[in-house]
Amino acid sequence: MKLYTAQQIRDWDKFTIKNEPIKSIDLMERAAGKLTDWYLENCGGYEDVSIFCGIGNNGGDGLVMARLLSNEQFDVKVFIVHFGENPSPDFTENLERLPKKIDCVHIKESADIPELNKETVIVDCIFGSGISRPPKGITLDVITKINKSNNPVISVDIASGLYTDHYSTHFNSIVEADITLTLEVPKLSMLFPENEKNVGELHILKIGLDKEYAKTVDSNFYFTTSQTAEKIYKPRKRFDHKGKFGHVLLVGGSKGMIGAVQLATRSALRSGAGKTSVIVPSCGYEILQATCPEAMCIADPSRNHIVASTLLKPYTAIGIGPGIGKHEQTKKAIRSIIEDAEKPIVLDADALNLLSENSDWWEMIPENSILTPHVGEFERLADIHFINSFDRLEAASKMAQDRKVIIILKGANTAVCLPNGEIHFNSTGNPGLAKGGSGDALLGLITGLLGQKYNSMEAAILGVYIHGKAGDYAAQNMSIESVTTSDVIDHIGKVFLGF
């Protein structure tokens, strides 16, 4: 699913109006119908509704929603926030259509702002996705009033005051939404942690914008959905055999950190890899043999950490990093493996930390290799601390393009940054994944997919999606708080069943 700038979204509306064809006011009616249907299905027990409308088309959506809810016998009040002198034509027409039984208050100065019933649900339709400067004056006063209330707040399309596609610094003048009902596609700003309190629970409502538009416009931003993952997934044929699904090698572990590579190994096995081998210090040999009998275990000559390289030719993919530590001998061994690699490899954890301390290694990393840093690891790679997520993402994308690698910047809505400049945000996952071992499972899963002849882009995007979805299934059964990485790995198979 492509993501769009504010201007592209406006153009999409125009494209739909021209090519469907449909009148703009009828498109507004259709959008508001979807909003109303969602409200009736999910909030039908909350019959006291206060809708705050601006004088643009977002406000027009609110007016239609007010009319439709009133027809369903809801107690609806409308508050018009006059932030300018030129209402949109569709807003004006829908204001004229508003039934007389609906209380309609015009807010032009602070004294007009009402005291809200504590039982009312606030629907925010003041500004849409086109806002380009911070709210001020009467609009700021209304937003402040809404945020100080303890009422539930639903924002239509985007929280009023939040920029669509760039960083917002005016946090005190943005509606703090409990729920956002965004139209057709998420907006870029909704995927960053700084805006969590302005987005709340995100729901995407399809309103039937013209599907041909995506073919006419370019975007570097994508949102990975189940449909995306299903297109990447390669189903197996009846007469396939293990030789068709690769032989992956995992390199990891050190004294006290064998669990990390054990989790990575279990995840690689669940990925469907034909054969899985793992190199561990000899202190981990019996552990791996006992807990992962399906994997072939190679004991390093050293008891406590990895010191030896190995021949790489037999392996279709190599994942390095879980629990390896940064011992000087380990550093030499990992350098040797990277130097000998002729195919894309996957790097995580201390493999990334070693890379950040040895910048000359970059020249040895094969093109289209996959790096999976969390925020701290990425900032060590970039050798800079970023003030906000927008700047961090931009730096990750630039690194991916300059170094010709894939950077998976982990977090909520994990971003997969490709060498061609595309950024794919993930739609799955929950805070239950924010635990030790989660990254190790991701490395094993992606390495396993890469070894099965998924290309690097496919392995990265699909691996991140499956990892997050397995976490969602685990949380449904275990609760977000109680999910362990082992639970996530155990639910990988359920994700594959859904394809």
| Full 3-state SS string of 410-469 | CCCCCEEECCCCCEEEECCCCHHHCCCCHHHHHHHHHHHHHHCCCCHHHHHHHHHHHHHH
pTM attached to this predicted model: 0.96
Task: Please state the length of the chain.
Answer: 499
| Helix orientation angle between 24-43 and 6-19, rounded to the nearest 10 degrees | 110
Integer Cα distance of 268 and 334 in angstroms: 20
Contacts of 196 (CB under 8 A, 6+ apart): none
Q: How do the pLDDT tens digits run along the chain, 499 residues long? A: 999 999 999 999 999 999 999 999 999 999 999 999 999 999 999 999 999 999 999 999 999 999 999 999 999 999 999 999 999 999 999 999 999 999 999 999 999 999 999 999 999 999 999 998 999 999 999 999 999 999 999 999 999 999 999 889 898 999 999 999 999 999 999 999 999 999 999 999 999 999 999 889 999 999 999 999 999 999 999 999 999 999 999 999 999 999 999 999 999 999 999 999 999 999 999 999 999 999 999 999 999 999 998 889 999 999 999 999 999 999 999 999 999 999 999 999 999 999 999 999 999 999 999 999 999 999 999 999 999 999 999 999 999 999 999 999 999 999 999 999 999 999 999 999 999 999 999 999 999 999 998 999 999 999 999 999 999 999 999 999 999 999 999 999 999 999 9
Q: In this structure, what are the phi and psi dihedrals at residue 206, rounded to the nearest 5 degrees?
A: -75, 130
- Dig out the tokens for 169 from the structure: 């610094």
**CB of 165 within 8 A of CB of 143?**
no
Contacts of 14 (CB under 8 A, 6+ apart): none
Place of tokens 């950040």: 356
Looking at residue 143, its pLDDT comes to 98
**Amino acid present at 432:** G
**Amino acid present at 309:** S
Integer Cα distance of 331 and 335 in angstroms: 6
Looking at residue 69, its pLDDT comes to 98
**CB of 209 within 8 A of CB of 12?**
yes
Closest by CA to 163, choosing from 139, 199, 138, 137, is: 199
Looking at residue 67, its pLDDT comes to 98
Give the number of other CB atoms < 10 A from CB of residue 307: 17
